[in-house]
Amino acid sequence: MRTVTYIQAVTEAMTEEMERDESVFIMGEDVAWNMMGDCTGMVEKFGTERVRNTPISEAGFVGAGAGAAMVGMRPIVHMLIAPFMYVAFDQIVSIISKSTYTYGGQARLPITLRAPMMYGVSNAAQHSDRPYATLMTIPGLKLIAPATPHDAKGMLKAAIRDDNPVITFEDRSLWGQSGEVPDDDLIVPLGQAAVRREGTDVTVVTVAGAITLGLAAAEQLAPEGISVEVIDLRSIVPMDTDTILESVDKTGRLLIADPAHEMGSVASEISAVVAQHGFWSLQAPIARVTTPHCHIPFNADLEKQLLPNVDKIVTEARALME
């Protein structure tokens, strides 16, 4: 075991897969310049052919990734930040999500889109989105949001090896966090949630960076006698609803902490699943701690009040116990 940061784990995952498989390469804006610090050492090792800077042409290079994947490559396409996917939306929806289906299984699209999310750091509305719920409505895409260095490495490697398109939402609030990764090959299967803390009173499901908040809230509630089970969703599509339903069956209470906008969110989807399939386990209404249906302002204080935090989770969890 070694201790690495989330961002180092991401670099290791990409580097190891590129060493292992010639068909894996990364392209995106400024990747060879290591602009985000997540491609350290890669251009030195693999050169600019396989660590490929692109023009600022998201539709062009995302679609090129799709075409390369269709003829046997395994591109990692770096979106720089998640909202830049909007520019490439037609390629993601019409081509990447639909080609395997529309062409009756003739096409395979082993493409990984890395979509780092930065929010809570005063970048205003256009740069601060957490758009996984938007993509969740589109069949044919796998969506993941690893929340630990271990998963960042193991799930990214699984994504690269997957024969289907995978979009990985990396929460930049986690990039600097450290954790253990094994020395040998690490693959974390997609589609499985992880119970990060066991508890008996309230299930808190966290999405992406909300894991930090969920664990802190659980710690804070423990002395009050409120036992919180924290589930890190990890994989948005496919969604491991079994693990959530089992937990709610045990605790009888559900809170979902999701940094994205509330309407039509992952939190909403989990709420619907539990209301439909776990209704008789519930002892209290389902609580969602999310961002309101409102854009992200530049002003730091204005932004901060909108986003989920530990206090909001603690308050809502206490209310569930009343």
Element (H, E) at 304: helix 300-306
- Minimal distance, residue 15 CB to another protein, in Å: 18
Contact pick of 40, 122, 212, 241 for another protein (by CB under 8 A)? 241
Alpha helix ranges (H) inside 114-239:
124-127, 132-136, 149-161, 210-221
**Which of the stretches 78-86, 101-109, 175-183, 250-258 binds another protein when contact is defined by CB under 8 A?**
101-109
127, 150, 293, 295: the catalytic one is 127
- Minimal distance, residue 142 CB to another protein, in Å: 7
112 counts as binding another protein under rule CB under 8 A: no
Residue 208 · residue 130 · CB < 8 Å: yes
Number of amino acids touching another protein (CB under 8 A): 55
Cα dihedral 80, 81, 87, 91, rounded to 10, equals 70
CA 67/CA 111 separation, integer angstroms: 10
Site for another protein in 185-224 (CB under 8 A): 189-192
Q: Confirm whether 127 is a catalytic residue.
A: yes
106 counts as binding another protein under rule CB under 8 A: yes
∠ CA 74-77-80 to the nearest 5 degrees? 160
Asked if the bond preceding 165 is cis, omega within 30° of 0, the reply is: no
Phi, psi of 48 (to 5 degrees): -80, -10
Contact pick of 44, 180, 242, 311 for another protein (by CB under 8 A)? 242
Give the active site residues: 127
What residues make contact with another protein under the rule CB under 8 A? 25, 49-50, 54-55, 57, 59-73, 75, 90-91, 94-95, 99-110, 139-140, 142, 163-164, 189-192, 237-242, 245, 273
